[in-house]
Structure 1
Amino acid sequence: MDQLFRCETLPPDFRRRVNALLADELSANHAAGADPVMMNQPSITVANELRSLLLELSERGPVVVSIDDLQFADGPSLQMLLFLQRRMKSSRLLLLLAELSTVRSPHPVFHAELFRQPNCRKIRLDMLTRSGAHTMIAARLGPAKALELTAPYHEASGGSPLFLSALLDDYQAIHRLAGRLETEPAVSQPAFRNALTDCLYLAEPAAFDVARAVAALGTVRSSVLIGHILGLNTATVEHAIASLTATGLLDAEGFRHPAARTAILEEMAPEARHELHLRVATALQNDGVPPVAVAEQLVAAGTAPEAWMINVLRDAAHSELAASRTGMACEYLDLALNNCRDSRPLAALTADRMRIEWQKSPLKAMRHAERLMEASQGGHLTGQDTGLLARSLLWHGRYREARETLTRWEANGTASDRAESEELAALTGWMAYSFPALLTESAGSAATQEADTGPDSVRPFGRQAVSLLSRLLADGPGDEAVTNAEGILHSVGLGTATLDSLHAALLTLICADRPDRAAAWCEELLKEAEQQGASTWQAAFAAVRADAAFRQGDMATAVKQGEAALSQLPAAAWGVVIGGLLANLILATTMMGQHDKAVKYIRLPVPDTIFESRYGLHYLYARGHFHLSTDRPAAALTDFESCGRLMEAWGLDLPSLISWRSGAAEAALALGLKSRARTLIEEQLTRPGTQQPRTRGASLRLLAAAGDVEDRPALLREAVSLLQPDTGRFELARALAELSVAYHELGEHGRARETAERAADMMESCHIPAEWAQPLPVVRPPHATPAVASAGPSRPAGPGASDAQGGPQKGPKPVGVDALSDAERRVAELAAQGVPNRAIGRKFFITVSTVEQHLTRVYRKLDVSRRSDLAAKLHVSPPEAESA
């Protein structure tokens, strides 16, 4: 009460008289803890004198006695106020008492007595409406800004004048300091944060603790749960929540603005905040909430000191992984790893962390390999985690360590456990076609024996996929293999544990001569991998997509997908698997005539251990074709035969996987070894799977090249009938080109041109450069007139040849350059310019052998013995002059 009359606007003499009156009496009553209602006689005397002074003051004008925060008033002051209210009903005096309604009054008797008086009115002030907020903002910032800011600022403040005023203070401060105006409320700025803490300090005693608990929880959960966290009864918690809601700080869900929640937590000392999060985590765990909610609290606490917390963090990580949220999964696992002290759970957590990192970087994931190998030596790894470690070591060519890991695993009696046995069988099956050289009797024998028992329908998909591929490699492809592979692709979702199964199913489709289906499935899997943000999976499926595109004859897509795979992972992260990817890039760029790009891929370093895996086979095959394309048939034959020896030794000799004999036959033909080429192709036609259209068609094309001229058309026509544009476009183009040459050599020039044009169109669809896709020119008899030449298919000149009317040709026999046919002239001109024989053959769709036959006739007709003599005879620039 003494503070009330210190107001500077009161007359000085009035203030002196009041202060003198109140000084002794109020201090005495305060010291005695006076009742807020019942007054003793001395107090009544003082109150009457105070009433007289106020009446005297009211004669000068109306008097308003305004008191804020009544809940904090002392007993004597309340006595005086009640006395004045009772006895000044007719005076020009108004008592205006303000009290925070969200706080339970400490003086309920005073309230009862006050509101019993007839001249007392109770007015409840609610939060500002949007209209009220608009008025308040307009008064501070003007009508234009009020229109822009009312909605977001009213929402953020909850209608609290205190919070709204603070937000406007921050708005103006930002404008002054930064020169910019923000539409969004600056709830993280000083004025708002100060208003927030002021509000909490003025609220219920328990309100601050409840607000902190709600901030830690992130939402207004049950009052019972909050009571367990804080050790408060439910009624106290509910009243505090109601108080915080009434102030505009909370709504039905929690804090009106996330920054308010952050401000409350940041106001706490770090140790207290961490302890609060641990209490929240414990309460949530006891309440049976999902592991992720508990794990969030543990991460916020930054520690997990109890064993049950480690289990919760791992369970939460698995839940996040199932939802493709790897970021939070990593946080949970890292916290668990930093707090786990037991060997077996630590090994499981490390394996989980490796799986996640593998999705983005197989190279980075290997930082966990040493800890897992130690766990393996100690017998702390599960079968699934041992499989992960073995696959990772194999990927990077660390074969000895992988073999030791598998040997230890099998020695521990995994065959007695069904799940362990299934994992070992799936891994062994994967090794059978990817790392066959590593399979020994001590690593995988038990699983291999059991792998053949039981129908596929009851096996896990991993076993089904590798079993399917194993049968295909042994017996050759068929329609059943395609159906089963697509069944697996339909049924298996994309994940770390299913990647090998999906890859095996895709490889089955490719080996079954269905690259079109493999390509379609790769597109779907690429989309899914991209959605999950898994770079490794994207790269792996892009590499398979490149393989499928090459086999379809779509060279541009093969290069595009192969380069996309390389962009997803650096070369070092691919390990030995890079061999398959580089093989497709080398093959596609070689076939497109982009030898400079092919050289770039050949020069990329690859692990030495690559040639102990299937990926080395693909690499040798591709490098052989590069050598063949650049006129090094001997080197090509060496690579092809090396590839073949390994395939035979490893039991992978399947032409639809790698047709090494086709490559070797082409190299043999380039070396003039027709008999060797024929033997290779005849052997190939006896292998499993050679009845597949693409494989048989390619074999027949080469068999024709190695056979007699008169036998070629029939073989090539059969090859063309087998090959389809959607599964073997490039092979079809080559078969058509060879068929056009065969027709030409038999003098059927019309059919030769028609077939050559089909070949050119097909080559163009394969994205082969235009200069490599020119139709074979029609050969006309020397000196034939245009009319004769256009009368029908022309015939080569020779003894007994007839003209267009059927009579014998007359005139002298041509000599020198005039004796050359159009085909011989074109071949000779390119040879004179230094173009290699193989490039000449590709340009005109003829074999290297045919080029050599043309040049033999050219040398004889021009009477030269060396290639370098051609330029002078044909009057063309030699290579040196051209390069100059």
Structure 2
Amino acid sequence: MELVERAEHIEELSRLLTECAIRKGHVVLLDGPSASGRTELLRRVAERAALAGGPVLHASCSRAERALPYSVLGQLFRSATVPDAVAAEADALLQRAGSATASDGTDPEHIGPETARLLHGLVRLLLRLADDTTLFIGIDDIQHADPRSLDCLLYLTRRLGSARILVVVTGNPELQPSHPTFRAELLDQPHARRIPLAPLSEAGTAELLAGHFDTPTAERLAPEFHLCSGGNLPLLQALIEDHALSGGVRKEGYGRAVLRQLRRGDSVLLRTARALAVLGEAAAPDRTGRLAGVEPQQAEHAVRLMTAAGLLSGGTFRSEVARIGIVDDLPPAERADLHGRAAELLHEQGGPATQVARLLVEAGRAPQPWAMGLLLEAAEQNLLAGRTEQAVAALESAHRQSVPKSAERAAIEARLVRVRWRGDPAAADRHLESLTAAAHADVLDGRDSVALVRQLLWNGRAEAADDLLEKLRTTAMEPHSEAAAELHDTELWLAWTHPTLARRRQPQPGGSRPAEAPPAPQQDPWCRPTALLAGALVTGRGHEVAGQAEQILRDGHAVHGDAWAEEPLLLALSVLTSAGRSDSVAAWCDRLLGEPHTPYSPTRLALLSAVRADAAVRLGQLSAAVDHAQLALDHLTPGAWGVAIGLPLSSLIMASTRLGHYDEAAGYLARSVPKAMFQSRYGLYYLLARGHHHLATEHYHAALADFRSCGELMRRWGIDVPGIGQWRTSAAEAWLKLGNREQARRLAYDQLGRPGTSGSEARGTALRLLAATSPAERRPQMLTEALDLFEECGDQYEQTRALADLSDAYYQVGDSRRARMHSRRARHLAGMCGATSLSQSLLSLPDEPDDSPSVAESAAESASLTGSERRVAALAVRGYTNREIAAKLFITPSTVEQHLTRIFRKLDVKCRRDLPVELGVGGGEVLASSGGAA
């Protein structure tokens, strides 16, 4: 073992060894806790003494030989450097000493005359060995030496003043030696000294590590290694080996090293360590002693020993690996019994429910009457504190201990499923079959049965959900019970999310509701908002409840309802999407994703990330859409997504297609999806995305089939409303590619006539496609209106397409100046949103060599414009005439001319064509913020 921070000690011992050669004998006590390097230091000094040529006598004491008189002396005289004649004489004296001890008794304070003569004889033998050379005597772990050997050692030390003898003994100050006055008598001698040894400091730890790692690594690891080992040398060696093998702390390495040190102590030490390991943070001196079956003073002493050795810090083990290793070292039955007794002890003393529950879970049994209620209470406390795994463990333990096929067991399992769903919906799937059986057996209560419907649908078990729904619909419920109210709300939610299972006659949002009476105390407060939003979406009146949706999102941190979980947030975001407010959806998702979540829920984060990705697609933020969708899939495994996998996958397919990454989009389409997804609205998103991929890759008939299938499903399900997708305009685009302009025109007109289309992105898309089927002279007007709508919605991708079509339209009517202006803007926007496929198609648009200033220069120069000038410049860049700009800004044409003159002078350009295209980006926002006035 390497010696670090021991140079001064070695130097001091070497000096004393040198003084012994001139008949100045010394006795040294190397005092330090376990694993402080005492034994290694003793060995190094013994090696130096051997090199000097003198005899070296060594003994190692052990607790097992403590009751054997003269056992240490026997070891000394059997050392290899003792002459045979001296060894034989010593052996004879030791045999006589054994008989004398029997007559004197074992009291270390009583030495009879015969024993005294024998001790004198043994000491004379030692002194004879030092007649002509220096004698070194080393005794390790002196606290375990037998009393008679200690008497002999004391007898010797009183005669060392003029002898060539160096006696070095090691001891632990926390352990009481067998001889009650040994330490005091030893250190009272004028030629005796005590050298204290302490565990390594952090600097010493870094020095030790420098022998195994490069200097930067040693300095980086030193704080962590010192914290974990407390400077204990064997533990440090184990940590070094663990780091080399795995880069971490291993139970087989570090954990075993801790166990070896504990086993070197007595049974009290090991029992106390086990009690501490089981109790964990609930450990206290009296509690630890009671659990270990020892006196409190003994437990406190054991704690001091372990603290001095660096095993404990603040009464707890320095590493969780050590605690686990000690617990796992127990036989299973003993381990379970110890945890069970600890739980009873802690409960008896009024310990926290979470700590008692942890012990009950480890014990694997809960025989006491109070245990079941305590486990359930602890589960709720852990859940509120964000400790989901502990909550699940408590619920699983309660479930195992409950009576089979009882209402209590079913309720516990229902709660367990809801908690598991937050972290991993796939893990909850294995409980659904037994819960469904309990619901059909009328063992599961109504509210839990209603919640079970959603869980079955998420996991694609539509048939089982349908059977359960029919049972619930035909079961007599109290008219104003929470179960009846939640079933009513579930019907509204089904109509939007899983329409195939909803009743044929959809309830209206404002219709009668069984729960209009005051809600029951246990009713989920988020059921009613969820149902209200779902009903509004189904009837195409999402814009009417946008205020309620915003309020639900403001309270998003509090939405953790059992039955509905994240549905209120998802539906609120769907309402804003249906109202064409994708920018608000993105902002709310960013805010909710950035907030700390208690309890932590990967499912919640995954769903919000998926909605954020959908909003990014609708805003033309294609790279961001891919990032958010991938993040959503990282939060949950594909199997855990259930039927909702269609939401993130559709965003990945759509964004990758628009980015021109067709192979990646095809890879996403190749992923397996549950068949039940196509019976939910999530399948509609997927169909639309797949159709657009077919459209981009020139598989026009396949694209048309997907769009028409989507439309047929939406009409059949009664949700042919804004908020999901524009299947009509998508199909119209496919018809255009197939050369059927009449069909495209009919679908575009059909879209324009749909409720909720006015002022929305859907109207903009319909106008763009209608323009493609109209005479050239009518196209600019329709495309300009479409562009305004896209700018208002913030969709950069559709703005780019409208600008490209507008450039082509102006070119066809002979207005090349405006054609070039819009083509430049289209290229700029295509680059901003990364639409590779659009960028390539824009190469065919008319343009002239662009010798305009750089983007950075343009931005710097445009900063000098006033607000009025920026609004005029934005419209001029977009191709509006002076008269059109004047009409939009409610000013005179001459005022427009004056503004333009100042703009040209400030930007140092000669005409409109030279204006930076960046001024036209976001023009809609500039106008909106101005209120239309310049």
TM-score normalised according to structure 1 size: 0.66
1:128 to 157, 176, 198: 198
Structure with bigger gyration radius = 1
Q: Which amino acid in structure 1 is aligned with residue 615 of structure 2? A: A
Specify which of 572, 583, 590 is matched with residue 516 of structure 1: 583
Q: Does 1:405 align with 2:468?
A: yes
Cα distance between partner residues in 1 of 2:356 and 2:679: 48
Task: Map 1:409-424 to 2 at 5 A.
Answer: 409=472, 420=483, 423-424=486-487
Find the partner of 2:342 among 280, 284, 289. Answer: 280
Aligned match of 1:391: 454
Query: 1:264-306, CA deviations, whole angstroms, 9 ceiling, x for partnerless residues?
Result: 5566444333322222233233334444433443454455555
Match of 2:554 in 1: 490
Q: Deviations over 1:450-502 (max 9, x none)?
A: 3895999x983453244234325435344x64444333223223768532222
Counterpart CA distance in 2 for 1:97 and 1:760 is 87
Counterparts of 1:169 and 1:736, CA distance in 2: 70
1:26 aligns with 2:96: no
Q: Which deviates more, 363-372 or 123-132?
A: 123-132
- Indicate how the Cα distance of structure 1 residues 643 and 215 shifts in structure 2: closer, same or farther if over 3 A, else same: closer
Q: 1:348 to 1:527 in 2, by over 3 A?
A: farther
Note if contact 2:677-2:683 (Cα within 8 Å) is conserved in structure 1: yes
Cα 1:370/1:277, change in 2 over 3 Å? same
8 Å CA contact 2:101–2:115 kept in 1: the answer is no
Counterpart pick for 2:763 among 696, 710, 718: 696
- The aligned counterpart of 2:838 is 769
Contact map agreement 1:530 1:538 (CA 8 A) in 2: no
Q: Which residue matches 1:505? A: 572
With over 3 angstroms needed to count, the CA separation of the structure-2 counterparts of 1:652 and 1:266, relative to structure 1, is closer
Map Cα deviations across residues 826-864 of structure 1 (whole Å, 9 max, x no partner). xxxxxxxxxxxxxxxxxxxxxxxxxxxxxxxxxxxxxxx
Q: C-alpha distance in 1, partners of 2:569/2:491?
A: 16
Q: What is the CA–CA distance in structure 2 between the aligned matches of 1:678 and 1:568, rounded to whole Å?
A: 43
1:252 corresponds in structure 2 to 314
Give the match's secondary structure for 1:28. helix
Do the aligned residues in 2 keep the contact of 1:298 with 1:304 (CA within 8 Å)? Answer: yes
Change (3 A) 1:192 1:433: closer
SS of equivalent to 1:214: helix
User: Structure 1 residues 307 and 675, CA, compared in 2 at 3 Å: closer, same or farther?
Assistant: farther
Task: Give me the whole-angstrom Cα distance separating, in 2, the residues matched to 1:235 and 1:711.
Answer: 98
> Which residue in the other structure is 1:471 paired with?
536
Paired with 1:593 and 1:257, the residues of 2 have a C-alpha distance of 52
Letter in 2 for 1:227: G
Q: Which one of 272, 279, 288 corresponds to residue 210 of structure 1?
A: 272
Q: What does residue range 218-617 of structure 1 map to in structure 2 within 5 Å?
A: 218=280, 221-242=283-304, 244-245=306-307, 250-255=312-317, 261=323, 264-265=326-327, 268-298=330-360, 300-301=362-363, 309=371, 312=374, 316=378, 319=381, 321-322=383-384, 340-343=402-405, 344-348=407-411, 350-351=413-414, 354-355=417-418, 358=421, 362-363=425-426, 365-382=428-445, 385-409=448-472, 420=483, 423-424=486-487, 426-440=489-503, 449-450=512-513, 453=516, 460-474=525-539, 476-478=541-543, 481-493=545-557, 498-524=565-591, 537=604, 539-558=606-625, 561-562=628-629, 574-581=641-648, 583-584=650-651, 587-588=654-655, 607-617=674-684
Amino acid at match of 1:221: A
Render the CA deviation track for 1:142-179: whole Å, top value 9, x for unaligned.
Answer: 9x99x9999999988868xxx75x6799899x89xx99
**2:199–2:310 contact (8 Å) kept in structure 1:** no
> Which residue identity is paired with 1:474?
T
Measured in 2, the distance between the counterparts of 1:672 and 1:117 equals: 109
The Cα shift of 1:632 comes to 7.9
The percent of aligned pairs where both chains have the same amino acid is 33
2:795 aligns to what?
A: 728
User: Quick one: which amino acid aligns to residue 695 of structure 1?
Assistant: A
1:870 — aligned with what? Answer: none
Q: Which of 648, 655, 659 does residue 726 from structure 2 map onto?
A: 659
Question: Does structure 1 retain, via aligned residues, the 8 Å contact 2:644–2:682?
Answer: yes
CA distance 1:64–1:417, change in 2 (3 Å):
farther
Give SS of 1:440's match. Answer: coil
The AA in structure 1 aligned to 2:550 is: E
What aligned pairs does 1:676-687 form with structure 2 within 5 A after superposition?
A: 681=748, 683-687=750-754
Deviations along 1:689-721, one digit per CA (max 9) or x if unpaired, are 223342333344445455565544434333333
Query: Is residue 757–residue 775 contact of structure 1 (8 Å, CA) maintained in 2?
Result: no
Structure-to-structure mapping, 1:35-46, within 5 angstroms? 43-44=112-113, 46=114
AA partner of residue 689 (structure 1): G
Shift of 1:312: 5.0
Residues 220, 252 of structure 1: 8 Å contact kept:
no
Give the direction of change, closer, same or farther, for the CA distance of 1:439–1:184 in structure 2 (3 Å limit): closer
Distance 1:257 1:473, change over 3 A: closer
Structure 1 distance, partners of 2:697, 2:161, is 117
Question: What is the CA-CA distance between 1:724 and the residue it aligns to?
Answer: 0.7
CA displacement, residues 771-822 of structure 1 (integer Å, 9 cap, x when unaligned): 312465599xxxxxxxxxxxxx9xxxxxxxxxxxxxxxxxxxxxxxxxxxxx
Against the structure 1 CA distance between its residues 558 and 155, is the aligned structure 2 distance closer, same or farther, given a 3 Å change threshold? closer
- Tell me the matched-pair count: 750
Once the two structures are TM-superposed, the CA of residue 687 in structure 1 deviates from its matched residue by: 3.7
Rate the CA distance shift 1:517–1:103 in 2: closer, same or farther, 3 A. Answer: same
Determine the C-alpha separation between the residues in 2 that align with 1:502 and 1:180: 43
Given that 2:800 and 2:826 are in contact with CA atoms closer than 8 Å, whether structure 1 keeps it comes out as: yes
Question: How many Å apart are 1:393 and its aligned residue?
Answer: 2.4
CA positional deviation for 1:518: 1.7
CA contact under 8 A between 1:492 and 1:498: conserved in structure 2?
no
Q: What's 1:802 paired with?
A: none
Distance (whole Å) between structure 2 residues aligned to residue 568 and residue 553 of structure 1? 24
User: Which of the residues 713, 719, 733 maps onto 2:786?
Assistant: 719
1:492 partner letter = G
Q: Distance in 2 between matches of 1:406 and 1:594?
A: 43
Q: 1:568 to 1:251 in 2, by over 3 A?
A: closer
> Is the contact made by 2:496 and 2:537 (CA closer than 8 Å) also made in structure 1?
no
| 1:294-340 C-alpha deviation (Å, 9 max, x unpaired) | 34434544555556555555555555555555555555555555555
Q: How far does residue 402 in structure 1 lie from its aligned partner after superposition?
A: 0.8
| Greater length-normalized contact order (CA 8 Å, ≥ 6 residues apart) | 2
TM, length-normalised to structure 2: 0.63
Query: What is the match of residue 885 of structure 2?
Result: none
Question: CA distance change for structure 1 residues 452 and 600 in 2, over 3 Å: closer, same or farther?
Answer: farther
Contact 2:202-2:222 at 8 Å conserved across structures:
no
